[in-house]
């Protein structure tokens, strides 16, 4: 079961103006609601945190128009590849996805598909198509005492670990035996 979607948001205060993804605040609100409905058995709640590798260097070299085109292209890829019950939001300089009602193998497969989709298809920008890679952190939870900010922080930490390991990869709490 997933919470009702965000309203149309006529003032745009819950949406990123560049990508159309929800803001981090709206993503946390959605994640909190999904965690509140999580069951002790069965599917879990996933939080995926995605950073575009070398985005700061792309911005420094080519400017904000290229950065914005890059972000929009990645957001489009993410929206094309998520399920209707999931939600894409802006997190830090990248993105987060709340994966509602998902089994561990499904969550890992979804993250791996995103890695391949970004790596395998250049993003159109004002300076031409750019080949990009990304770093992803993925955590799962059954709700309980862990709130949305803590889950997002864990996903961020794993994304940062993927970036420190050279980028273009996935780090998940499942590798450490933690759900």
- 152 lies in some domain: yes
Residue 19 lies in a domain: no
Identify whether 10 is part of a domain.
Answer: no
Question: Would 31 be classed as within a structural domain?
Answer: yes
Residue 135 inside a domain? The answer is yes
The two three-digit tokens of residue 125, written as one number: 């920008």
Q: Is residue 49 part of a domain?
A: yes
pLDDT tens for 73-120 read 999 999 998 999 999 999 999 999 999 999 999 999 999 999 999 999
Q: What is the pTM of this model?
A: 0.89
Distance, CA of 124 to chain centre: 20
Total structural domains within the chain: 1
Q: At 96, give phi and psi (nearest 5°).
A: -135, 150
Domain membership flag for residue 2: no
Q: Is pLDDT above 70 for 158? A: yes
Kindly state the percentage of the chain with pLDDT values over 70. Answer: 91
pLDDT tens-digit series, residues 29-64 = 999 999 999 988 889 999 999 999 999 999 999 999
Task: Kindly tell me if the per-residue pLDDT of 122 is higher than 50.
Answer: yes
Give the model's pLDDT for residue 94: 95
- Residue 47's nearest CA partner among 145, 132, 168, 150 is 150
90 CB-near residues (< 8 Å, 6+ apart): 16, 19, 21, 22, 23, 24, 27, 96
CATH code of 165's domain: 3.30.70.270
Quote the domain boundaries for residue 38.
24-176
**Domain-embedded: residue 15:** no
**Residue 54: Cβ within 10 Å count:** 16
């Amino acid at each position: 079961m997933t919470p009702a979607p965000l309203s149309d948001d006529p003032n745009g205060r819950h949406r990123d103006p560049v990508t159309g993804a929800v803001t981090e605040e709206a993503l946390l609100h959605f994640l909190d609601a999904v965690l509140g409905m999580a069951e002790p058995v069965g599917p879990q709640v996933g939080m995926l945190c995605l950073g575009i590798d070398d985005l700061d260097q792309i911005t420094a070299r080519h400017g904000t128009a290229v950065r914005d085109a890059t972000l929009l292209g990645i957001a489009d890829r993410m929206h094309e590849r998520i399920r209707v019950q999931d939600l894409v939001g802006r997190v830090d300089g990248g993105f987060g996805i709340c994966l509602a009602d998902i089994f561990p193998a499904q969550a890992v497969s979804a993250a791996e598909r995103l890695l391949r989709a970004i790596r395998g298809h250049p993003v159109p920008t004002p300076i031409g198509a750019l080949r990009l890679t990304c770093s992803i952190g993925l955590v799962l939870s059954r709700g309980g005492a862990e709130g949305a900010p803590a889950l997002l922080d864990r996903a961020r930490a794993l994304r940062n670990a993927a970036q420190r390991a050279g980028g273009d990869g996935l780090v998940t709490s499942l590798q450490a035996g933690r759900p």
